[in-house]
Amino acid sequence: MDTGHEKVNLLGMGNEALRQWVVDLGEKPFRAQQLMKWMFHRLESDFSAMTDISKAFRARLAAIAEIQPPEVLLEKDSADGTRKWVMAMPGGSAIETVFIPEGKRGTLCISSQIGCGLNCTFCSTARQGFNRNLTTAEIIGQVWVAARSLGQTPDQRRITNVVFMGMGEPLLNFDHVMQAVSLMRDDFGFGLAGKRITLSTAGMVPMIDRMREVTDISLAVSLHAPNDALRDQLVPLNKRYPIAELMAACKRYVAGRRGERVTMEYTLIEGVNDQPEHARALIRLLANVPSKVNLIPFNPFPGSDFKRPSEESIRRFQTLLLNHDKVATLRKTRGDDIDAACGQLVGQVADRTRRSQKLKTLPLGG
Ligand code: SAH
């Protein structure tokens, strides 16, 4: 009848809202849990396949609702097992999602925004500017698409961890990110423990405090420099929320939670922040912050002047931290052959269009 109305996408609704919605339709509340199990455990998007729901209700669902994941434009497998999806967003842009298997662990790196407005100088996402926030359905939809593509079943979980380390600043899309997080954690959703979900921020200090009030998922901070002068250059947001304030917010986040540590991400860039003096300053800075350091060798991308340090200086940096009892892991570069490595996520499709436009407008001989 009312085909003129847009169907409601159940994917982004969340447990509570879905229950209320079902009740408002005159159905029993447990229908919401049935629907969620079909959506998130069996990864079913077709109401007609949901055989434990009455035919009449299924028909009604199909008329007014949908389970609509993002559309996959491109799926690429790396030789090392990494898989990347480019997903189309309404309006012609795209986002990227990456799966990184490592032994029993399978980490899904998801995006929270189309593009990013923070302008970190070493990050390729910054080059495309900010487009818009993703909806809850678009965020949880990345997990859904990946789980289905990987053949995940309730008995065989492929995605064991989720990290908000794709495109965008998750704390600038707070409500949608937190709604998606609760769907990831919900037993009728993806059922992931909070500590297996990591939110990475460039350092939105007030939002770290807000986050502390609503969740206890793992926190990662893109530090990249041990002093304000240098961090101002790499992460311009530092001018608003300098290191001392950021470290204080990190301490507050883990306060009272024994054993909890904030992950400090540190992208190593040759000649910029990779010298022994930087390592020593970092050790001093983190001395009384419950933290571990994750070193990420810079991944070069076209148009960037930065370089990845030599193996030798990467090891030297790590060893200095380890010698001072600082936990310091080195992130292996994965999915390099499919442009899926850290900081290379640019929403290739949109990027390609722009690049070809640029080529067309280049003056001859220029
Ligand atoms: N806005 C959030 C989430 C994006 S994740 C944040 O800033 O934390 C971004 C992570 O990718 C950063 O921690 C950074 O370490 C990493 N990164 C970005 N560009 C990179 C590059 N070119 N090489 C290596 N790591 C990069």
**pLDDT by residue for the chain (366 residues), tens digit each?**
545 578 999 999 999 999 999 999 999 999 999 999 999 999 999 999 999 999 999 999 999 999 999 999 999 999 999 999 999 998 889 999 999 999 999 999 999 999 999 999 999 999 889 999 999 999 999 999 999 999 999 899 999 999 999 999 999 999 999 999 999 999 999 999 999 999 999 999 999 999 999 999 999 999 999 999 999 999 999 999 999 999 999 999 999 998 899 999 999 999 999 999 999 999 999 999 999 999 999 999 888 999 999 999 999 999 999 999 999 999 887 787 777 766 666 665 544 444 434 333 333 322
Ligand 1 centroid – CA 150 distance (Å): 25
> Which of 185, 183, 204, 203 is closest to 195 using CA atoms?
185
174: amino acid identity, one letter = F
Q: Count Cβ atoms within 10 A of the Cβ of residue 302 and give its class: 0-12 exposed, 13-18 middle, 19 or more buried.
A: exposed
Q: What's the whole-model pTM score?
A: 0.92
Q: Which residues contact 16 (CB under 8 A, 6 or more apart)?
A: none
Q: What is the CATH number of domain 8-66?
A: 1.10.150.530
Ligand 1 centroid – CA 114 distance (Å): 15
Residue nearest to atom 1 of ligand 1 (CA): 169
For domain 71-361, give its CATH number from 1.20.1630.10, 3.40.50.300, 3.20.20.80, 3.20.20.70: 3.20.20.70
How many Å apart are CA 150 and CA 159, to the nearest integer? Answer: 9
pLDDT attached to residue 332:
82
**Do the Cβ atoms of 181 and 151 come closer than 8 Å?**
no
Which residues does a 6 A CB cutoff place in the pocket of ligand 1?
A: 122-123, 165, 169, 200-202, 222, 265, 267, 296, 298-299, 342-343
Residue nearest to atom 4 of ligand 1 (CA): 165
How many Å apart are CA 308 and CA 214, to the nearest integer? Answer: 38
Domain ranges in the chain are 8-66, 71-361
